[in-house]
Amino acid sequence: MRKISSIIAICVLLTLLSGCNKADYVENQAYAVMFGVDGDEKGVELTVQLPKLTGDTGGDKGYLITSASGKNFQEALESMRLATPRELNLSELSLIVVSEQLATSGMLPEVIDGLVSNYRLFSSSNIAVCEGSAKEFVSAQEAVIGTRLSEAILALIANSEDLGYIPHARLATLYYDSVSVYSDPMVTFCALSDGGSGGDVQPGDTSPGEISAESDNKNIYMGAALMREGSMTGKLTGLEMLTINLIKGEIEGFSYSSEAISAIITVRGAPSVKIDSSGDKLAISIKLYLSVLPVSKDISTENIAASLKRDIMNVIEICRAAGTEPFGFAERAAAGFLTMDSWLEYDWHARFMEAEIDVEMDLVVVDS
């Protein structure tokens, strides 16, 4: 009798579980893979790529492009929900693309707030700022290799991250860094390639749209958008981004060429960053530990060190001009302060703009 009543009780309790949530059938969901946001003072336009789940996932036939607009992000999202033939589900989103116009307009914080407070959004989505229209960029994205667009996007971004040409930009990290009081975030920069103009520009030292290459893949991710308080204040080329990754210790090696120098550089150890905020002027010293495998003949370590140092100082000046500090120095400097009030009073950004920066190189030439 006791067992029977226990079984009945469990069955009754199980029915309550259905009160937790209604069942979500995959066939009733429209899983967005890519999400584009365009906007200006007149309003916001959203674009999504949705897999049709028809069995034919090859090429553009397998994906549906839907756009909707509204006076602000929430209204546009509501219109998008109405326009989508199934329940819009953002939990499998691979990439969010924001147009450069919107990113620089000051409207981005509202969009980020709207995105992170969305129940159906996975905050680990990649985020990028694109040159031109986000709608065009999203519409042009295809799975050139493989059949699944979501996997293709993730592989594409992972490849650019490994090369060091883009930052590790996720929606959550952009949001957290924007609302925190340390270093500023960066977002991947992207554009539709027009075939490039060639010339004697170094690979990676152009806008992603001007990359000198021809491919079926027109969506190029290279460089970074510099952000401050949720708005874009400047941009970096792929090579400049690579230099920041070198300072942050986030790459293992890269191919380097500058004027008559050509070498393969490997990182030997984590960079040493020392910050002295005790004096009137902030002092930052950076020391990099690198191995150099010369490709061109007759190059000296002094030449490479001088060239790299010049590149680093150049990137620091670009960031200063944009009013940002994306190097991760602020976190280290904050360790020297006891309270948040004293840290805020120190006015990190103003100090960084006038800081004395010293770059040192510990280079070792290797033969293989």
Which residues in this chain contact other proteins in the complex, by CB under 8 A? 13, 16-17, 19-21, 91, 113, 116-117, 119-120, 122-124, 170-173, 175-182, 331-332, 334-343
Least CB distance from residue 58 to other proteins, whole Å? 27
Rounded CA-CA distance 247/328 in Å is 9
Q: Cα separation of 53 and 338, whole Å?
A: 55
Q: Are 242 and 267 in contact (CB under 8 A)?
A: no
Contact criterion met (CB below 8 Å) for 113 and 55: no
Structure tokens at 273: 């960053």
Complex with other proteins: residue 121 or 191, whichever CB lies closer: 121
Closest distance of CB 22 from other proteins, Å:
9
- 8 Å CB contact between 123 and 116: yes
If the CB atoms of residues 161 and 240 are measured against other proteins, the closer one turns out to be 161
Q: Which is nearer to other proteins, 113 or 136 (CB)?
A: 113
Q: Considering the complex, state which of residue 320 and residue 332 has its C-beta at the smaller distance from other proteins.
A: 332
Separation of alpha carbons 346 and 54, rounded Å? 58
Query: Would you state the structure tokens that stand for residue 151, as one six-digit string?
Result: 């996997």
For the bound state, the minimum distance from the C-beta of residue 123 to other proteins, rounded and expressed in Å, comes to 5
User: Residue 338 Cβ, how far from other proteins at the closest point, in Å?
Assistant: 5
Q: Which is nearer to other proteins, 182 or 289 (CB)?
A: 182
Identity of the residue, 185 or 209, whose beta carbon is nearer to other proteins in the bound complex: 185
DSSP 90: B
CA 312, 366, 253, 217 dihedral sign is positive
CB of 157 to other proteins, least distance (A): 14
CB of 206 vs other proteins, minimal distance in Å: 29
Helices (H), the chain: 2-17, 73-83, 100-105, 108-116, 134-140, 149-163, 171-179, 238-248, 301-321, 329-334, 340-346, 348-353
In the bound complex, what is the minimum distance in angstroms from residue 195's beta carbon to other proteins? 35
Nearest to other proteins of 116, 264 (CB atom)? 116
**Alpha carbons 184 and 163: distance in angstroms, whole number:** 22
